Amino acid sequence: MTAAQRDLGEAAFLADFAELSAIGATAAGGVHREAGTAADGRAREWLRSWFVAHGLRCLIDPVGNMYGCGEVVADAPYVLIGSHLDSQPTSGRFDGAYGVLAAAYAAARLQADPPEGARLNVAAVNWFNEEGSRFSPSLMGSGVFIGKFGADEILDTADLGGVTVREALQAIGFQGSDSAPTAAAFAEIHIEQGRTLIDEGLDIGVVNTNWTAYKYVVSVVGEQSHTGATHMRYRHDALVGASHVVLAVRAVADEFPDGTMLSSVGQMTVHPNSPVVVPSRVRLAADLRSLDAHLLEQAHQSLTTKLADIEAAGEVRVIVESAVLRPSKAYPEAGATLAGAVADELGLRWRTLPTMAGHDSVNLCGVVPTVMLFVPSVDGISHNEREFTTDAQMTAGVRMLTGTARRLLTGALEEAVVT
Amino acid sequence: MTAAQRDLGEAAFLADFAELSAIGATAAGGVHREAGTAADGRAREWLRSWFVAHGLRCLIDPVGNMYGCGEVVADAPYVLIGSHLDSQPTSGRFDGAYGVLAAAYAAARLQADPPEGARLNVAAVNWFNEEGSRFSPSLMGSGVFIGKFGADEILDTADLGGVTVREALQAIGFQGSDSAPTAAAFAEIHIEQGRTLIDEGLDIGVVNTNWTAYKYVVSVVGEQSHTGATHMRYRHDALVGASHVVLAVRAVADEFPDGTMLSSVGQMTVHPNSPVVVPSRVRLAADLRSLDAHLLEQAHQSLTTKLADIEAAGEVRVIVESAVLRPSKAYPEAGATLAGAVADELGLRWRTLPTMAGHDSVNLCGVVPTVMLFVPSVDGISHNEREFTTDAQMTAGVRMLTGTARRLLTGALEEAVVT
| Three-class SS of B97-166 | HHHHHHHHHHHHHHHHCCCCCCCCEEEEEECCCCCCCCCCCCCHHHHHHCCCCCHHHHHCCECCCCCEHH
CB-CB neighbors (< 8 A) of A211 in chain B = 228
Model confidence at A4: pLDDT above 90: no
CB-CB neighbors (< 8 A) of A235 in chain B = 264
Q: Contact B273/A269, CB-based, under 8 Å?
A: yes
Amino acid at A47: L
Which of B237, B265, B273 is facing A239, going by the closest CB pair? B265
pLDDT digits (tens, 9 = 90+) for A251-270: 999 999 999 999 999 999 99
Distance (Å) from the alpha carbon of A226 to chain B's nearest alpha carbon: 5
CA distance B318 to B308: 7
| A193 in reach of chain B (CB within 8 A) | yes
CA distance A215 to A193: 19
**What pLDDT is attached to residue B418?**
58
Confidence of residue A416 (pLDDT cuts 50, 70, 90): low
Task: Provide the 10 A C-beta neighbour count for residue A254.
Answer: 10
**What pLDDT is attached to residue B6?**
74
Q: Contact A91/B277, CB-based, under 8 Å?
A: yes
Query: For residue A34, what is the nearest residue in chain B, using CA coordinates?
Result: B274
Distance (Å) from the alpha carbon of B334 to chain A's nearest alpha carbon: 26
CA distance B120 to B225: 65
Q: Which of residues 58-77 of B touch A (CB under 8 A)?
A: none
pLDDT digits (tens, 9 = 90+) for B23-57: 999 999 999 999 999 999 999 999 999 999 999 99
| B129 in reach of chain A (CB within 8 A) | no
| B354 in reach of chain A (CB within 8 A) | no
Q: Contact B242/A239, CB-based, under 8 Å?
A: no
Give the residue from A277, A362, A377 with the most B CB atoms within 10 Å of its CB, the best one to mutate.
A277
Distance (Å) from the alpha carbon of A149 to chain B's nearest alpha carbon: 19
pTM of the model: 0.90
Peptide bond into A327 cis (omega under 30): no
Q: Which of residues 358-377 of B touch A (CB under 8 A)?
A: 358
- The 3 state secondary structure assigned to A225-270 is EECCCCCHHHCECHHHHHHHHHHHHHHHHHCCCCCCCEEEEEEEEE
Distance (Å) from the alpha carbon of A212 to chain B's nearest alpha carbon: 10
CA distance B17 to B191: 14
Contact A263, A287 (CB under 8 A): yes
Q: Contact B273/A230, CB-based, under 8 Å?
A: no
**What pLDDT is attached to residue A5?**
53
Per the prediction, chain A carries an average pLDDT of 95
| B383 in reach of chain A (CB within 8 A) | yes
Which of A272, A279, A357 is facing B229, going by the closest CB pair? A357
Could you write out the DSSP letters of every residue in B288-304? EEES-HHHHHHHHHHHH
Which of A273, A358, A384 is facing B228, going by the closest CB pair? A358
CA distance B115 to B405: 10
Q: Which SS3 state, helix, strand or coil, does residue B251 take? A: helix
Q: Is the ipTM of this complex over 0.85?
A: yes
Q: How many CA atoms lie within 13 A of B94 on its CB side?
A: 27
Contact B412, B115 (CB under 8 A): no
Q: Contact A287/B227, CB-based, under 8 Å?
A: yes
Q: Which of residues 257-286 of A touch B (CB under 8 A)?
A: 258-259, 261-280, 285
**What pLDDT is attached to residue B3?**
46
Model confidence at A1: pLDDT above 50: no
Q: Which SS3 state, helix, strand or coil, does residue A44 take? A: helix
Nearest to B373 by CA among B406, B338, B347: B338
Low-confidence residues of chain B: pLDDT under 50: 1-4
Model confidence at A234: pLDDT above 60: yes
**CA distances (Å), origin A340, targets A140, A336, A352, A369, A407:** 30, 6, 9, 16, 12
CA distance B59 to B62: 10
Which of A138, A232, A264 is facing B237, going by the closest CB pair? A264
| A313 in reach of chain B (CB within 8 A) | no
